Chain A
Amino acid sequence: MTWSNRGLIFRCSDYKIAGNEILFAQSPQPVNLGDRIRVFFCTRLRDSPTTWISHPAFVDYTHDLQHVLESPQLVKIAPPILGSFDEHGIFPFHPHLSDGLFLAYSTGWSRRQSVDVETGIGLLQSFDQGLSFVRVGDGPVLTASLYEPYLVCDPWVVRDESNWKMWYLFGTEWDESLDSEDPQRVYKIGKAESLDGRQWVESKGQASVPDVLGPKEAQALPSVRHKAGRFEMIFCYRPHRGFRIPGNASYNLGFASSVDGNTWNRDDQQVDFPLQDFDSQMRCYPSWFTLGESDFILYNGNEFGKFGFGLAQWTK
């Protein structure tokens, strides 16, 4: 029993979006709409010759994720207000369906002068199955706090009978140890809880998942499922330095499990499966989901998803 690598199922160069070439298709996250699987991802739009704005998009698949039903399109979201937490883009974009509500938790980006960016987690709602979203408010539902001073991002929400749980990232350091690079982000996975999905109590700097590369290991995109009384998480992690340079060690997939959602046991071997060309150097931004009897991971490969996203399937 292991994951089989089905390769790059969405290749950016095969499509256009709003008439333009697709720059990146990052953090694929699916929802089951009944007649189709809608995979949200974030692409990049240029706002100057040297800068990008990330923006959510989606592409629709058949249930076996073999065939694209409709070409990708941008999600319609009103422009952010000046000075807001998401004014320079949204990435990742986490759809969450519950109680008949079509919600999305966003990571909003805004540029800073002393470091490149600050982030926060926003909440949006769709009334047309995800074609467009409106912000529930202009501000974030979760952002920097006393023990989580910056870079709150990458939300993943699981709802059960009692409350809402969110796994997400908080920054622990802007690492300045490398003279040759700008300060680099170090973040860990935290857990927040909420009674209404809007007001969240954060993890107060308590990292959920043990690290294997030391305290400067950066962990990202905790995709969590709750099944048979157990929480299981597939995420990605990387070293704190050199990870943007092709050929160096960069993001790989990690795995952890927990009985109570608070104490996690790490076992990355659970997501060790054969490489293909597209993910030969990097695997990142995993999204774990179940369709019928099958488990899948959608994720990005080399260069943080510049070329598209791939699929792994659990085979018995």
Chain B
Amino acid sequence: MFSFERLGLVFETREHAVPTWMSSFAQAPASLIFDDFVRVYFSTRPDPDKNGRFVSYTGYVDLNLTDPRKIVGVAKTPIMPLGERGTFDEFGTYPFSVVRFGERLLGFHGGWTRPVSVPFAVAVGISESFDDGKTFKRLGSGPIISASINEPFIISGPKIRIFDDRLFLFYIAGKKWIQTDLLAEPVYRIRMATSNDGLSWVKEDRDLIIPLDEDDEAQASPDVFWHGDKYHMFFCFRKTLNYRGNSGSYRLGYASSRDLLNWNRDDSMINYGPVPNSWEEDMIAYPHVVQIHDKWYMMYLGNGVGRDGFGISRIVGFPKSEPKL
């Protein structure tokens, strides 16, 4: 079982607010390690428009390497503007994930637009930074991973990784929208695609993680890392219906794999629950695991899926390796 030491809400959005793009939320933390600091990208929002609709930008905060509770810098502008009219990311760039790919710095983001029948549509875009990660330029105005015959909508939550010199993109894909009295709610699952160059991708085209409840589970934030003798995936999941602010809300899930293709789900490996009367009392969501020098950390979201900011825990214990047969 993993064990943790909670370090608290490290980035509190309102303390760094810039009204034009960052009033609340710091969602889906994703790290990039530099020599002198660790940069954590997150997605944030200005106040909603008069109809209550949000847009989402991505920014970053730089943290001290030895004590990531200490903030050493905050982005002054979003890393990229919203997309042009009619494009897939016209109303949001969230989440964002970044990787050093040779000499290049590639970013992948969920792009949000507004259909009429359902609240949102999402596809994944690609961008590149030429200024050490301060800003990112789209490689094209369309998405790099979009809907396909078995992934009809909500291609979102990209997490880009490199294993054995290959690019792996873990993401989620929608399976169906369920219409409720109030609004439509999506069911989505964790998927994967691979690439050698970042531009040409092959989808694995199947769900990686077996749901606990076939019809009523939404999985998100598939965060994969290698430790010990296998791959580990932290993710989060919630009920599709009746999840807001109660027991159906986001919790952490866990799976492990030897080959990145076959995953054994065992959520009991992470016993990390909400804390009453705190910023993380309703949910634990969007985990991201990072090794900084010799220490391991989990960055994550609490109430309102990161409405107040993001927090960090130090991973102080890993499960024992299984004996080799």
Contact = CB atoms under 8 A, between A and B. Distances in A.
Interface residues of B, number: 38
A181 to B, nearest CB: 14
Contacts of A87: 117
B121 to A, nearest CB: 7
Contacts of A143: 146-148
B203 to A, nearest CB: 9
B116 A146 contact: no
Contact of A82 (B90, B150, B179): B179
Given A82-B117, A83-B177, A114-B85, A137 B150 contact: yes
A171 interface: yes
B77 interface: no
Contacts of A81: 152, 176-177
A145 B147 contact: no
A58 B31 CA distance: 56
Contact of A115 (B86, B142, B199): B86
Interface string B149-178: 111110000000000000000000010111
A139 B85 contact: no
Interface string B233-253: 000000000000000000000
Contacts of A141: 148-149
Given A114-B85, A147-B140, A138 B152 contact: yes
A149 B153 contact: no
Interface string B68-94: 000000000000000011111011000
Contact of A139 (B141, B153, B177, B199): B153
B139 interface: yes
B10 interface: no
Contact of B85 (A123, A136, A174): A174
Given A82-B117, A115-B86, A139 B142 contact: no
Contacts of B115: 83, 110-113, 118
B139 A146 contact: yes
Q: Is the interface of A mostly helix, strand, loop or mixed?
A: loop
A296 interface: no
Q: Which of B85, B87, B141, B149 has the most CB of A within 10 A?
A: B149
Nearest to B120: A83
Interface in A170-196: 171, 174, 176, 183
Interface residues of A, number: 37
B136 to A, nearest CB: 14
B114 interface: yes
A198 B149 contact: yes
B184 A144 contact: no
Contacts of A88: 116-117
B126 A146 contact: yes
B145 to A, nearest CB: 9
Interface in A133-167: 136-141, 143-151
Q: Which of A88, A139, A141, A174 has the most CB of B within 10 A?
A: A139
A84 interface: yes
Given A82-B184, A110-B115, A112-B116, A149 B146 contact: no
B113 to A, nearest CB: 7
A120 B147 contact: yes
A85 B118 CA distance: 12
B148 A149 contact: no
Given A145-B144, A146-B142, A176-B85, A83 B174 contact: yes
A137 B152 CA distance: 8
A114 B117 contact: no
Contacts of A145: 140, 142-144, 146
A205 B140 CA distance: 10
A138 B150 CA distance: 6
Contact of B142 (A85, A113, A149): A149
B266 to A, nearest CB: 31
Interface in A238-278: none
B285 interface: no
Contacts of A113: 114-116
Nearest to A80: B152
B301 to A, nearest CB: 25
A115 B83 CA distance: 13
B38 interface: no
B144 A83 contact: no
Nearest to B155: A139
Contacts of A183: 85-86
A81 B179 CA distance: 11
Given A82-B179, A174-B85, A183-B85, 14 more contacts: A82-B178, A83-B174, A83-B176, A111-B117, A114-B85, A114-B86, A139-B149, A139-B151, A139-B153, A141-B148, A145-B143, A145-B146, A150-B86, A174-B84
13 contacts: A82-B179, A85-B152, A110-B117, A113-B115, A114-B86, A139-B153, A141-B149, A143-B148, A144-B143, A146-B143, A149-B140, A174-B86, A198-B149
Top 4 closest pairs, chain A to chain B, by CB: A149-B142, A137-B149, A146-B140, A139-B152
Interface of B: 84-88, 90-91, 113-118, 121, 123, 126, 139-144, 146-153, 174, 176-179, 184, 186, 199
